[in-house]
Structure 1
Amino acid sequence: MPGPQPYRGLPPELVASPEFQRVCRERDFAQVFLLTKKKAGVYPSRIAALCGMTPSRVGEIMAGRRSLAHIDVIERVADGLRIPGAMLGLAHRPWEIPATPTEPMRTADRSSASVGQADVTEEGGEPSGIDDLLTLADGKVTRSTLVALQSSVEDYWRRDDEHGGASLRPAVVGHLRYVTQLMTGADGALRRDLQSLAAELARLAGWAYFDARQFSTARTHFTQALRLSRGQDDYLFMANVLSCMSLQATYDGNPADAVALACKAQDSARAAGDQPLVMSMLHMREAFAQATLRDSVACHQALDRSRDAYELSRGREVEAPSWVRYFDESKLIVDTGIALARLGEAARAEPLIAEGLRRESAAQQRGRAFHAFWLATAQLQQGSLDAACESASLALDFTASLDSPRVAGHVREFHGRLAPYAREAPVISFEQKMREVLG
């Protein structure tokens, strides 16, 4: 009798289903295994073999008599069943991250398959997923393929802006993997365009992992984006990636690195020519980092440069890149307030953040959630407990429609600052709402 068929991974429709994503997020492995059996036809004995467990242990987990808590076992499940690490709250798994192609690879020449081999094939050297099958079937890449992929990237950015980036991670990484494979079958101008698209997808993946507060994996993808952009002399793109890395370094408690990255981004933008709006945003990134360092003089100097560059950008005939157009006057105002709040200058920060929040579009849910949090922070710094809890509750209202652990983390950090006022009515009311929204 023939042996069991090589395992190809879970069906894409199962991985993408809200139910499966929910049980993975909750680490409800009884339901993970039950859905794997029901929807993918992978029975307990096969699950056990794939995940390095005994069949009896898998049976006990499915019956609810045992649970999984050790991170090494959870990682074995992710790797065995090919569940993206992000879905289980893990770092990106090694098999998910494709290497950067360095030269065209012939499908038939296995000896030269030095790039992304683990991602392209599974047992027996056969395609491991639908993307690989589509790549092999296509035969060649056309300009229309590139246009369609670029449209997908634009849609991802829109969805990130409206709902947060955490839930986009599996799809974005899948597209990144697909594009890096397409690069092996293209040459000339089309290959360069695909490489630029792969760089943008890597930046988007980095941003999505940053929004999920998985900073190490985010840094991996940002670095990949820089590597892919090397040799293309796209200085504005490199400035964009470096600005993202600067912001992440600020969040990750490395403000000195954040300053260095922001300054490097400014140098890159200057090499691209006259781009005052880009420079305004980059000076603001530096201001955030200087504020975290508590360097008041350097922070205010960066804020002045940001404001001056923004004024220069008004009425310019040269259109700014699309990715920086979000940085309008409202954003300049609210970010100035946030930098001042980071410095502890709450009285000056509060009216600026409030004004920026008032001006913002209702569609900018994540931005409004962040800004409501910073408004609450400035109000709490001034001892206005009622107003602070009201603003924090507003942040929760916006958070309810987002999948952004970065926003949720901010709200929880704010809650920690309320500990000295735990018996106060506004705090009790806020805590009740936080439990309802965040669990």
Structure 2
Amino acid sequence: MSDSDRPQELPARLLTDPEMIDACRVRDFTRVFRLVKTKAGIYPSMVARRCELTPSRVGEVIAGRRELRHMDVIERISDGLRIPGHMLGLARRTWETPQALAVAEREAPQMPEPAQQTPASLPGPDADSILALATRTNLNAATLEAFRSSIEDYWRRDDQHGGEALRPAIVGQLRYVVGLLKERRPPAIQNSLYDIAAELARLTGWTYFDSRQYNQARVYFTEALELAKEIDDRQFMANVLACMSLQATYQDKPADSLALVTAAQDQARSARGTTPRVLSMLSMREAFAHATRGSRDATHRAITEAHRHFEQIRDSDPDPSWVTYFDEPKLIVDTGIAHGRLGEAATAEPLIADALRREERTNHRGRALHSFWLARTQLDQGKLDQACHTAMQALEPASAVASERVSGHLREFYDQLEPHRQEPVALAFEARLRELLPPVSGSLHP
């Protein structure tokens, strides 16, 4: 029997799912088999092997053409899928005894018995328990800290180079951590694993969003929400909803953007201990949503609220790690971008320029995005030379990061230059563009 077919504990969230509880209570194995497939990844062929049933019989049950009523079959299903006996109206199964209690009991000495032949396809119960122990991952505080450190490193490298190349590693780690959640662990460790898995799912969604692969981004953002909901981390749920709101602004869906950020703020307000920094970040995302809709007064109110919350930040605040990026330069540049989205270029320009002077130079994507925003506000005011000079400076960080969002902002600026295409400064920018970013410039208008 392969590792994937060996009996394992079902995820706690499946065993506590009301639909699963009801299906087991009435012994509706059509629903049970479908649920273990969709929510635990145990496919019909695996069900057949674990429960010592034929694949055709399992297929008939799933199709609703056959019922399973014999007690010995129900017991095999309980044991093979590790469904606790009481859920199926059975006595407590032997494997339900916690391992700690089982090893605490002393065994009476026994005389060796003649070896008995067992089927080669199935290990005995003792070997099964030993194999389960051997594959169980031992987690401690150091292991969890290693996971968190790797996430911090992923985010840092994402800022510097973009996340597309990192995505396979991030997804692999996400699936590994989700797999660890299937084992029973102390609540503190289990909650930490949910927290880590949620952040990995959000990071994966972010890499797809940055690549403008919006459908895939939504899938992973939704998974992040589900994982955070398992531990009732409402601040983190607010963060994920805020990411989805930002994505909606890029998709030109202002109504969706506003609905998502409003939901994010509701989650944050209902959470215990939400910090001013989190509330400030959410207010700024609200400002983006209003600006995308062209609602000037609402945008200004949201900006004012973002600054009010930011002024309340204290060094002692227990900020979640995922919001520490929202520092004063980020507040200022986002304020400028919100004004820029409204067409208030004269207000936006000095704010974005000030933030750029204070930003980390290693954040290539941020510097590229913000420089193109600055160039656009300058061009909107008729400052052609200054705009092209700013955009020229943005090309270097843009060339260092693989980000379709950055490329999109570059295309927008390039299109804005259309009326000035023959001006010497515009020609110089285009020459530099083709030199540094030939794949991108090839997709632009010649």
Deviations 1:281-303 (CA, angstroms, capped at 9, x unpaired)? 11110111111111100000101
Shift in Å at residue 355 of structure 1?
Answer: 0.7
Answer with 1 or 2: which has the greater Rg. 2
- 2:306 aligns with 306
Local SS of the residue matching 1:167:
coil
Query: 2 CA distance for matches of 1:275 and 1:242?
Result: 17
1:103–1:184 Cα contact (<8 Å) kept = no
1:142 aligns with 2:139: yes
* Mapping of residues 401-416 of structure 1, within 5 Å: 401-416=400-415
Question: C-alpha root-mean-square deviation of aligned residues, in Å?
Answer: 3.0
Deviations 1:286-324 (CA, angstroms, capped at 9, x unpaired)? 1111111111000001011111111111x3532322221
Counterpart amino acid of residue 163 in structure 1: H
Give the share of equivalent positions with the same residue, in percent: 51
2:194–2:231 Cα contact (<8 Å) kept = no
Query: 1 CA distance for matches of 2:144 and 2:358?
Result: 37
1:141–1:186 Cα contact (<8 Å) kept = no
Residue ranges of structure 1 left out of the alignment (5+ in a row): 1-99, 105-109, 126-134
Shift in Å at residue 114 of structure 1?
Answer: 4.6
* Mapping of residues 106-255 of structure 1, within 5 Å: 112=36, 114-115=38-39, 117=41, 138-143=135-140, 144-189=142-187, 190-255=189-254
TM-score (norm 1): 0.69
1:303–1:336 Cα contact (<8 Å) kept = yes
Shift in Å at residue 116 of structure 1?
Answer: 5.8
> Please, which moves more after superposition, 169-178 or 149-158?
149-158
| CA distance 1:244–1:343, shift in 2 (3 Å) | same
Local SS of the residue matching 1:389:
helix
Counterpart amino acid of residue 166 in structure 2: L
**May I ask how many residue pairs the two structures share in their alignment?**
328
Deviations 1:152-210 (CA, angstroms, capped at 9, x unpaired)? 21211121122222222111111111111222223342333222221111111011111
Deviations 1:39-85 (CA, angstroms, capped at 9, x unpaired)? xxxxxxxxxxxxxxxxxxxxxxxxxxxxxxxxxxxxxxxxxxxxxxx
Query: 1 CA distance for matches of 2:230 and 2:368?
Result: 38
Deviations 1:207-255 (CA, angstroms, capped at 9, x unpaired)? 1111111111101100111011113121111111111111111111111
Query: 1 CA distance for matches of 2:290 and 2:161?
Result: 29
- 1:21 aligns with none
Query: 2 CA distance for matches of 1:295 and 1:118?
Result: 50
| CA distance 1:161–1:138, shift in 2 (3 Å) | farther
Query: 2 CA distance for matches of 1:247 and 1:363?
Result: 23
1:101–1:180 Cα contact (<8 Å) kept = no
- 2:342 aligns with 343
Local SS of the residue matching 1:165:
coil
1:166–1:405 Cα contact (<8 Å) kept = no
1:210–1:218 Cα contact (<8 Å) kept = yes
Shift in Å at residue 118 of structure 1?
Answer: 8.6
TM-score (norm 2): 0.68
Local SS of the residue matching 1:230:
helix
Query: 1 CA distance for matches of 2:283 and 2:374?
Result: 22
* Mapping of residues 34-433 of structure 1, within 5 Å: 102-103=13-14, 112=36, 114-115=38-39, 117=41, 138-143=135-140, 144-189=142-187, 190-272=189-271, 273-313=273-313, 315=314, 317-433=316-432
Query: 1 CA distance for matches of 2:362 and 2:298?
Result: 34
Query: 1 CA distance for matches of 2:150 and 2:317?
Result: 26
Counterpart amino acid of residue 146 in structure 2: A
Counterpart amino acid of residue 186 in structure 1: R
2:14–2:40 Cα contact (<8 Å) kept = no
1:380–1:388 Cα contact (<8 Å) kept = yes
Deviations 1:126-154 (CA, angstroms, capped at 9, x unpaired)? xxxxxxxxx99743342244333222212
1:140–1:186 Cα contact (<8 Å) kept = no
1:141–1:185 Cα contact (<8 Å) kept = no
Counterpart amino acid of residue 282 in structure 2: L
Query: 2 CA distance for matches of 1:317 and 1:286?
Result: 26
2:335–2:348 Cα contact (<8 Å) kept = yes
Query: 1 CA distance for matches of 2:376 and 2:416?
Result: 9
2:235–2:274 Cα contact (<8 Å) kept = no
1:101–1:116 Cα contact (<8 Å) kept = no
Shift in Å at residue 103 of structure 1?
Answer: 3.9
Query: 2 CA distance for matches of 1:290 and 1:363?
Result: 31
- 2:115 aligns with none
Query: 2 CA distance for matches of 1:268 and 1:228?
Result: 15
1:198–1:228 Cα contact (<8 Å) kept = yes
| CA distance 1:220–1:389, shift in 2 (3 Å) | same
Query: 1 CA distance for matches of 2:204 and 2:398?
Result: 21
1:330–1:356 Cα contact (<8 Å) kept = yes
